[in-house]
Amino acid sequence: MKRKRIVLKEGRDKSVLRRHPWIFSGAVKKVEGSPDLGETVDIVSVKGEFLARAAFSPQSQICARAWTFEQQEIDKAFFSRRLKAAKKFRQQLGFLQENSACRLVASEADLLPGVIVDRYADCLVVQFLSAGAEYWKEQICGCLREHFDCTTVYERSDVDIRSKEGLEKRTGLLSGEEPPELIEIIENKLRYLVDVRAGHKTGFYLDQRVNRKLLRSVVKGKTVLNCFSYTGGFGVAAGAAGADMVTNVDASVEALKTAGRNMELNGIRQSAYENIEADVFKLLRKYRDMARRFDVIVLDPPKFIDSKGQLKRASRGYKDIAMLGFKLLNPGGVLLNFSCSGLMPVDLFQKITADAALDAGVNGKITARLGQSPDHPTLLSFPESFYLKGFMVKV
């Protein structure tokens, strides 16, 4: 049977030859064989030379995402091999301990474009973000049940990016038992409660694992302001490490309720923390006007950038909160400044942080460059998989 194909324009195969998995619509000369949404197609040069085997997504600007650059079949056995490799990588990291949590599959970074799998104890939470991932969902879920000990596979494909792929949002149980309201996990010997059904992302910011651990080294006896705290990830880490006072700030009262339960779960006394429901930007200005100061401040805002056209406006937002953060630091204080926006270049984010310090009238030194946890790997041929960047700055 003749394979369905995408033929690239002359000179538009360079990125594929470098094993970048995205094929943009502008590089396509023609599509042969009328493939269905998510169906596997061969990517070939204008001369007909094989380049990759990919999932077809005609409604997206990224019209195909490569599964492989070798002439191998895309079937259940293929996904089984990919998932076994992803599991082995996390085992080598030591991240698959009982009741732990980690990212098991990180989409393109694990050579499975559009597939996200997060583990929370014995519950797997999955996202199918691309047409190809959706097309093979049943086979992928079957492989997950075979290779991972789990009582639940729960779907959280409730993200806007699916609409660009011609897909509707979906959530719900795929197999096993319905997950409880909150699942308890252990991270760096600390306990957290996670809402996998309605929480941010798949329930928890797993990518900040190593940075939460690092924070613990600088907070003993200190006052800590944890901005955009969500369910208190950084706040719990600080309180458990002996911070004198932790202030968690978030706009969600439900997230703060869970943050309070997480603090109590780890034996942090009530007099050592406060949870404040507020707009972070407004509260930082209020604290500035009150001349309130802190020893350590964490700025971990949500993603500000969805397109390159938003970069300038987002840069102003990042600078604004960083400047306020620097103004609220005591002499010798520490600021952890993050951006989870993949479109924010790390050199630009360093410049924004430097400009914020200058406008705040402080001198700062970078004592650590921060990134995502290693279970969220960066594939060298796919630099877009590096998205979380940050700086620990001492003034």
Residues 352, 384 contacting (CB under 8 angstroms): no
Compute the distance between CA of residue 268 and CA of residue 384 in angstroms, rounded to an integer.
38
Quick: pLDDT tens for 84-128: 999 999 999 999 988 899 999 999 999 999 999 999 999 999 999
CA separation (Å) from 20 to 52, 117, 233, 252, 379? 10, 21, 34, 38, 10
**In a shared domain, residues 136 and 209:** no
Task: Please report whether residue 189 resides in a domain.
Answer: no
**In a shared domain, residues 24 and 154:** no
**In a shared domain, residues 232 and 360:** yes
**In a shared domain, residues 168 and 293:** no
**In a shared domain, residues 94 and 158:** yes
The domain spanning residue 121 has which CATH number?
3.30.750.80
Domain that holds residue 138: 76-176
Distance between the two ends of the chain, CA-based, in angstroms? 66
**In a shared domain, residues 374 and 232:** yes
**Domain's final residue, options 31, 51, 68:** 68
**In a shared domain, residues 9 and 116:** no
Compute the distance between CA of residue 209 and CA of residue 125 in angstroms, rounded to an integer.
18
**In a shared domain, residues 40 and 83:** no
Compute the distance between CA of residue 152 and CA of residue 123 in angstroms, rounded to an integer.
5
**In a shared domain, residues 284 and 136:** no
Task: Please report whether residue 51 resides in a domain.
Answer: yes
What residues are annotated to the active site? 340
**In a shared domain, residues 94 and 64:** no
**In a shared domain, residues 366 and 221:** yes
Split into its structural domains, the chain has a count of 3
The domain spanning residue 278 has which CATH number?
3.40.50.150
pLDDT at residue 268, as a whole number: 98
Task: Please report whether residue 128 resides in a domain.
Answer: yes
The domain spanning residue 25 has which CATH number?
2.30.130.10
pLDDT at residue 2, as a whole number: 83
Quick: pLDDT tens for 342-356: 899 999 999 999 999
**Domain's final residue, options 49, 68, 87:** 68
Task: Please report whether residue 231 resides in a domain.
Answer: yes
How many CA atoms does the CB half-sphere of 253 hold within 13 Å? 0
pLDDT at residue 83, as a whole number: 98
Quick: pLDDT tens for 286-307: 999 999 999 999 999 988 877 7
Task: Please report whether residue 238 resides in a domain.
Answer: yes
**Domain's final residue, options 44, 68, 92:** 68
Mean pLDDT by 10 residues, the chain (395 residues): 92 97 98 97 97 97 98 98 98 92 98 98 97 98 95 96 96 97 96 97 97 98 98 98 98 97 98 98 97 98 81 91 98 97 94 98 98 98 97 98
**In a shared domain, residues 226 and 157:** no
Pick from 180, 210, 223, 219: nearest CA to 198: 180
Task: Please report whether residue 142 resides in a domain.
Answer: yes
Task: Please report whether residue 139 resides in a domain.
Answer: yes
Task: Please report whether residue 198 resides in a domain.
Answer: no
pLDDT at residue 1, as a whole number: 65
